Each structure stands twice: as structure tokens, then as C-alpha cells.
Amino acid sequence: MLQSNPIKVMPDKLKTDLSKFNSSWYKPGGKIKWVLWHITSSVFFINPLFTFIGPKVFLLRLFGAKIGKGTVLKTRIAIKFPWFLEIGDNVWLGEAVWIENHGKVKIGNSCCLSQGSMLLCGNHNFKKSTFDLIVGDITLEEGTWIGAHAIVCPGVTCKSHSVLSVNSVATETLEAYSVYKGNPAVKIRDREIKE
């Protein structure tokens, strides 16, 4: 017969109380703008049947994003606030990329975000009972590659031609021309590019 272990409650410890969460200080844009973007995103970006890149680029620019030439946007891409997004030239965003840009996201020229990768500008302060929102900008410098299902956390800069490998999590700056792996990601080797 299996015995269950009761969960120990620590009465002298503070607890998280989500009813006290308050992000009223955070004002990413007007409600009408956000609702219009939410509808647009659902129809043209998250929708797996809409594969046309040109209209997506046009819509992102219409909502305030800065998009360079030669951008490739696959299907099921989720972008929280396009007005906080800047994409350079010849950037590839793969299927199901998620840009949760509560802060500003800047993606340099010739960057690649593989399928299912995530850029997360928002987080929560788990040390506070009010679970306060934390926002940090993300920068991907030229030639950066974010591997499939990899995650870049708030406040991180991925320097020129850095690589974050599959399923890895970047919690700190990635150095230029370096390959990172793991959770948290650590440098495993230099990136050498040949002709």
C-alpha cells in the first residue's frame, strides 16, 4: 500500500498572492491598438494557413515595427507588440517563433531564429509576494543563430555571430563568435565560419 507524503506548510514564510499583482505601471500601448494587433496577429501570423511574407511585413510595419529587406517570416509566429520590434536585413523567423517583447527586441542583419525558439522580454520577481513584472530588452547582433526551441531571457544580448543551440536557455550575454549549449547556456566552443 502506497503512503502519501503530506505537503509541509511553512507558516512563518510569506506566500505568493497573485491577487495583489499590479502591472499598472506598464503601458505598452493603447487598448484599441492592442486589440487590432491581436486580431491581425491571429489571422495573418499565428494562422498556419497564411504563408505570404509580403503582407506580413507590410502589417508589421503598419503597426510600428522596423523591418529590413529580405525578411523571411514562416507561419505560426507570435509577436506580442510589433511597435517594440526592430528587424534588420535578411532575417529568418522559423515556424512557431514566439517574440514575447514586453521590452524592445532588436534583431540584427542575417540572424536566424529557428522553429519554436522564444525571445522572452518579460519575467516575474518570484522573491516578491506580489510576483512583480520584470521587463528587459533583448538584442541579437548580426549573424546570431537561435536554435530550435531555444530561449533567450530578458535583458540578454547575443553578440555578433553567437549561436544558442537547440533547447538551450540564454540567461546572460553570449559572446561573439561563440557556441552555447545547455540550461543555463554555457560556451562550448568558438564559432568558425568558412567560405
Q: How confident is the model at residue 9 (pLDDT cuts 50, 70, 90)?
A: low
Looking at the predicted structure, is the pLDDT value of residue 7 above 90? no
Q: Is residue 167 part of a domain?
A: yes
C-alpha cell at 9: 506548510
Q: Is residue 20 part of a domain?
A: no
pLDDT of residue 127: 92
Residue 55: exposure state from Cβ atoms within 10 A (0-12, 13-18, ≥19): exposed
Report the C-alpha gap between 113 and 71 in whole angstroms: 12
Total count of domains within the chain: 1
| Three-state SS at 90 | coil
Looking at the predicted structure, is the pLDDT value of residue 11 above 90? no
Query: What are the angstrom distances between the C-alpha of 121 and each of 81, 90, 103, 104?
Result: 11, 23, 5, 8
**DSSP states of 157-190:** EE-TT-EE-TT-EE-SPBPTTEEEEETTEEEEEE
Q: Is residue 48 part of a domain?
A: no
Q: Is residue 29 part of a domain?
A: no
Per-residue pLDDT of 24-83, as tens digits, reads 889 898 899 999 999 999 999 999 999 999 999 999 999 999 999 999 999 999 999 999
Q: Is residue 118 part of a domain?
A: yes
Domain range for 77 is 53-188
C-alpha cell at 180: 552555447
Whichever domain contains 68, its CATH number is 2.160.10.10
Q: Is residue 3 part of a domain?
A: no
Q: Is residue 24 part of a domain?
A: no
Q: Is residue 25 part of a domain?
A: no
pLDDT of residue 12: 74
